[in-house]
């Protein structure tokens, strides 16, 4: 059991800085997911916690102990790798027992621990097999087993599910979550998959280009994204972004193409006269009568997902010709029962407080309307 602390953690390779200063505290037993696109530094950050990368600047502490100068084995952590990193020449049992043997544990104790972990992960009948005789999901379980038997203070997961097929990934996701709940071990989990991030995390770190853009609970991040990057990265399908302007008195918000949003009761006085970027999630756009409509979407492409359907198209003026369509592609998520065809014009309105305004330069969030 341990808390993990980051204080001004930076990482450089030569002159190239890849992590620009991370500060955060992870509570004991918390499940924290680091999510971001490839190359954002999320794996590097995890490997710095593991002791596989040096820390250029700042401090990382585990359980109140600064670990900067400690070898991986002295950090009381266990790690699950993307390719599982099972020792191919050892049986499942030997794989799990390897760390315990090195720790000079007694034979009986090793046996008991491995059996307990194997039971928990339903690996009991596979203990004598070699990794190559196992399926992807089973290998994944062995990798988890190897982490569990050592009873570490912290689990580190480096994209552990990326090598599995979609169905297995969902199943293993649930298993990891349940296991972590049961063991109550502090966990740090790296992924590029935002669905995985949302479902697993107690708290989420959204990283971009070596910076933690936002650290919060998944719902808070979904509802109030701190920046345009976070807004676009979290949520699927991605949020729509449209350029807009606020009138001088802050009473009108008009899209660049002349459509007014939120015509009634708008008061953005402090932002008067600014150019902004309006973000709205596909699932927050609803079909309404023409009278209430804020947006008119000329549908170009429909994707049916069963429960839902996604309509992609361009915004058009209320009584305009299709040739005046805006450039940006806007996506709408509608219930699967909606009958939408390519070429239709949909009359839409965004739900209350679901329009997010971002600064077009800095990408920072300005307001919700």
- Residues at the site binding other proteins, with contacts judged by CB under 8 A: 50-52, 71-73, 77-79, 81-83, 85, 87-89, 98-99, 102-103, 130, 146, 150
* CB nearer other proteins, residue 15 or residue 319: 15
* CB nearer other proteins, residue 131 or residue 279: 131
∠ Cα 72 75 79 (to 5°): 65
Q: Least Å distance between CB 83 and other proteins?
A: 6
Per the listing, tokens 């999320």 go with 42
* CB nearer other proteins, residue 88 or residue 306: 88
* CB nearer other proteins, residue 80 or residue 297: 80
Q: Least Å distance between CB 66 and other proteins?
A: 19
Q: Least Å distance between CB 349 and other proteins?
A: 51
Q: Least Å distance between CB 131 and other proteins?
A: 9
For residue 104, the Cα-to-chain-centroid distance in whole angstroms is 39
* CB nearer other proteins, residue 73 or residue 364: 73
* CB nearer other proteins, residue 15 or residue 71: 71
Handedness of CA 77, 78, 80, 86 (dihedral sign): positive
Q: Least Å distance between CB 102 and other proteins?
A: 4
Q: List residues bridging with 60 in a β-sheet.
A: 6
Element (H, E) at 58: strand 57-62
Tokens of residue 312, six digits: 């992609």
* CB nearer other proteins, residue 82 or residue 199: 82
DSSP string, 61-119: EETTEE-TT--GGGS-EEEE-TT----TTS-HHHHHHHHHHHTT--HHHHHHHHHHHHH
Q: Least Å distance between CB 238 and other proteins?
A: 31
Whether the Cβ atoms of residue 98 and residue 90 lie closer than 8 Å to each other: yes
* CB nearer other proteins, residue 185 or residue 331: 185
Q: 219: which DSSP letter?
A: H
Q: List residues bridging with 201 in a β-sheet.
A: none
DSSP string, 239-291: PEEEEEEE-TTS--EEETTS-EES-SS---GGGTT-EEEEEE-GGGEEE--GG
Q: Least Å distance between CB 113 and other proteins?
A: 14
Q: Least Å distance between CB 75 and other proteins?
A: 8
d(CA 321, CA 331): 20
């Amino acid at each position: 059991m341990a808390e993990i602390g980051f204080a001004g953690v930076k990482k450089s390779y030569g002159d190239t800085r890849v992590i620009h200063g991370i500060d955060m505290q992870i509570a004991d037993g918390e499940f924290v997911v680091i999510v971001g696109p490839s190359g954002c530094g999320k794996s590097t950050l995890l490997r710095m916690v593991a002791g596989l990368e040096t820390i250029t600047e700042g401090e990382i502490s585990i359980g109140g102990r600064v670990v900067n100068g400690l070898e991986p084995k002295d950090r009381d952590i266990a790690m699950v790798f993307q390719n599982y990193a099972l020792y191919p020449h050892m049986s499942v049992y030997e794989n799990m027992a390897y760390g315990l043997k090195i720790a000079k544990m007694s034979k009986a104790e090793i046996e008991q621990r491995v059996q307990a972990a194997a039971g928990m992960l339903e690996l009991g009948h596979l203990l004598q097999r070699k990794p190559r005789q196992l399926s992807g999901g089973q290998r994944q379980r062995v990798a988890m087993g190897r982490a569990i038997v050592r009873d570490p203070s912290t689990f580190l997961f480096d994209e552990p599910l990326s090598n599995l097929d979609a169905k297995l990934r969902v199943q293993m996701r649930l298993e990891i979550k349940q296991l972590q709940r049961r063991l109550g071990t502090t966990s740090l989990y790296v992924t590029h998959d935002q669905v995985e991030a949302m479902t697993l995390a107690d708290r989420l770190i959204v990283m971009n280009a070596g910076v933690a853009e936002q650290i919060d609970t998944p719902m808070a991040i979904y509802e109030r994204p701190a920046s345009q990057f976070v807004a676009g990265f979290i949520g699927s399908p991605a949020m729509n972004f449209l350029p807009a302007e606020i009138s001088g008195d802050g009473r009108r918000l008009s899209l660049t193409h002349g459509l007014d949003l939120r015509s009634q009761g708008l008061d953005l006085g402090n932002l008067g006269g600014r150019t902004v970027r309006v973000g709205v999630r596909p699932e927050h756009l609803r079909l309404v009568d023409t009278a209430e409509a804020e947006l008119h979407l000329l549908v170009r492409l429909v994707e049916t997902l069963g429960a839902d359907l996604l309509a992609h198209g361009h915004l058009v003026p209320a009584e305009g010709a299709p040739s005046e369509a805006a450039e940006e592609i806007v996506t709408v998520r509608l219930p699967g029962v909606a009958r939408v065809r390519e070429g239709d014009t949909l009359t839409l309105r965004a739900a209350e407080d679901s329009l997010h305004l971002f600064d077009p330069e800095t990408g920072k969030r300005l307001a919700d309307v």
